[in-house]
Amino acid sequence: MTAPPASGAALLQVRDIEKTFPGVRALSGVSFEVKSGEAHALLGENGAGKSTLIKIVSGVYEPNSGAILVDGREMHFATPEDAKRAGVATIYQELLLFPELTVAENIFLGHAPRGALGRIDWAAMRAKAEELLASLEIDDLTADMIVGSLSVGNRQRVEILRALSHEARILIMDEPTAALTESDVTRLFDIVRRLKARGVGIVYISHRLDEIFAIADRVTVLRDGAYVGAREVADTNAAELVQMMVGRRIENLFPKMEVPIGAPVLEARDVVRRPMTKNVSLTVRAGEIVGLAGLVGSGRSELAQTIFGVTPAQSGEIRLLGQAVKIESPESARAKGIAYVPEDRSVQGLVRAMSVLHNFSLAALNGLSRWGFIDRGAERRMAERGVERFSVRTSSVDEVAGRLSGGNQQKIVLGKWLANNPKLLILDEPTRGIDVGAKAEIHRLMGELTAAGVAILMISSELPEVLGMSDRVLVMREGRLVAEFDRAHATSEAVGAAMMGGDAHMEKAA
């Protein structure tokens, strides 16, 4: 049972982890290890299985098979508590702190030093907290500060201190810099280096290549839930990592229709909407599909919502069919012929309690109404036509929309917008979370729409979808458009690198 550690001092070893959820294989055959004093990065696209993996290592999920070894001893983590006891602490993206309590109270919540009769020894707690702060040379925080008043970066440091107070020897950080400012990132890296020097093993999850080169010693790449490979950071470069992350995939999956491209439908010039949209200029032409690539958090959805008037632009110019327009609300966007299929169908796209019929007509009520009353015959005809055209599988248009499958719900969301005959269609993750058949139908529909002269701006986190469907690919990073590729030049490596912001490393490698 006590297998000897494979090499030197592997603190944590993960071997052949397999995890399936109903209908989905989330991870298969994934292995990696972290040595004492090492920072090991886990790299992969959205949905590659990074989060599932760390949830297994931190005891949130149990794997179907495979082993987790700490100090060479096989462990079974049934709960996060078990993992904590074994010295594995996790810092999630959403910090789990109590904003009303002080720094010291948050650090020692659940294991406060006790005095006589089990009462909390407040003095000892504060002293220990100050000690922890001093050990990392954090001088701008004190034990008595209220956590709710701290910046995100400082809260994250409190969370790290909490992990240390548990004597954690393995610290897992899930995209720790996602919400940090530049200076907070620098301070975080400083802490990571100190922890490494103390012999703490760090698992660092990120999709920012520059960070990996700055802080990690080794990197393991995951793709579609599978282990792709591991590299010493010193021996690799950004191009290789991107290639490993993205892989080579079949390009013929996407039935791209060849359609003549017409005049510009949408022209945006220097559109600004703080904080996420910074001087964006782009053009989408009739019959054209423009793919908007970028990582989650790069500002793609925010840009879409600005064009659609959810968060109107603060400056810049938007032209529709050559005419300068002001789009102040979804209402005005709709009136001008823009349609928007939002990212999160259940939250933004569908009124689940309403029938298929009523969902279909919701975006077209004005056109269907006379004197404020709905023409129910026309409404029903419209919905029935839509159900047929989009092959929505439902017993009748009177069925409650929330009862349909995800793919069918998405077809309704798409269909209700097309009832308005939009000139510009903005699709945000049009095929996320739906099955392959429904996906193909939606792609086919996109082709039909472009053939009818509709301009499509498509946001997708699936690179193959972006590359397969788009006439042009625009890449967003940190609120700006950073690259543009035409169909011929849009390779997964080039687009992937632009998304990651690894250009500097690419050049170095070249």
Partner 1 sequence: MSATAFVAATSPRSGGLRRFASQEALLAVAVIGLAVVVGFINPRFLATRNLADILLGNAYIAVAAVGMSMVIISGNIDISVGALIGVLATLSGSMAVAGIPIALCWLTPLIFGVAVMAAQGAVVAYLRIPAIVVTLGMMSILKGGLISVTGGKWITDLPQNFHLADLNLFGAPMPVVIMVVATVLAALWMRYSAAGRAIYATGGNAEAARLCGVNPQRTVVMVFALHGLLAGLAALVYATQLRVIQSTTPPGLELTVITASVVGGVSILGGVGTVVGSTLAAILIAEITSALVFINVSPYWTDALRGALILATVIADIVRRRRRAARGWKR
Q: Which helix (H) or strand (E) holds 30?
A: strand 24-35
| Amino acid occupying residue 248 | R
Least distance CB 366 / partner 1 (angstroms) = 7
Least distance CB 402 / partner 1 (angstroms) = 4
DSSP 79-120: SHHHHHHTTEEEE-SS----TTSBHHHHHTTTS--B-GGG-B
- Whichever of 282 and 350 has its CB closer to partner 1, that residue is 350
Nearest-angstrom CA–CA distance, 71 and 314: 55
Least distance CB 21 / partner 1 (angstroms) = 13
Least distance CB 459 / partner 1 (angstroms) = 15
- Whichever of 80 and 402 has its CB closer to partner 1, that residue is 402
Least distance CB 72 / partner 1 (angstroms) = 42
Nearest-angstrom CA–CA distance, 456 and 284: 7
CA dihedral over 409, 411, 417, 423, signed as positive or negative: positive
- For residues 107 and 161, the answer to whether their CB atoms sit within 8 Å is yes
Main-chain dihedrals φ then ψ at residue 180, nearest 5 degrees:
-100, 155
- Whichever of 324 and 365 has its CB closer to partner 1, that residue is 365
- Whichever of 333 and 483 has its CB closer to partner 1, that residue is 333
Among 6, 24, 48, which residue's Cα sits nearest to residue 205?
A: 48
Main-chain dihedrals φ then ψ at residue 134, nearest 5 degrees:
-65, -35
- Whichever of 231 and 352 has its CB closer to partner 1, that residue is 352
- Whichever of 310 and 427 has its CB closer to partner 1, that residue is 310
Beta bridge partners, 15, equal 67
Least distance CB 354 / partner 1 (angstroms) = 6
Least distance CB 395 / partner 1 (angstroms) = 11
**Over 173-242, what HEC string results?**
EECCCCCCCHHHHHHHHHHHHHHHHCCCEEEEECCCHHHHHHHCCEEEEEECCEEEEEEEHHHCCHHHHH
Binding site for partner 1 (CB under 8 A): 308, 310, 329-331, 333-335, 340, 342, 347-354, 358, 361-363, 365-366, 368-369, 372-374, 376, 400, 402-406, 416, 435
Beta bridge partners, 428, equal 459
- Whichever of 286 and 350 has its CB closer to partner 1, that residue is 350
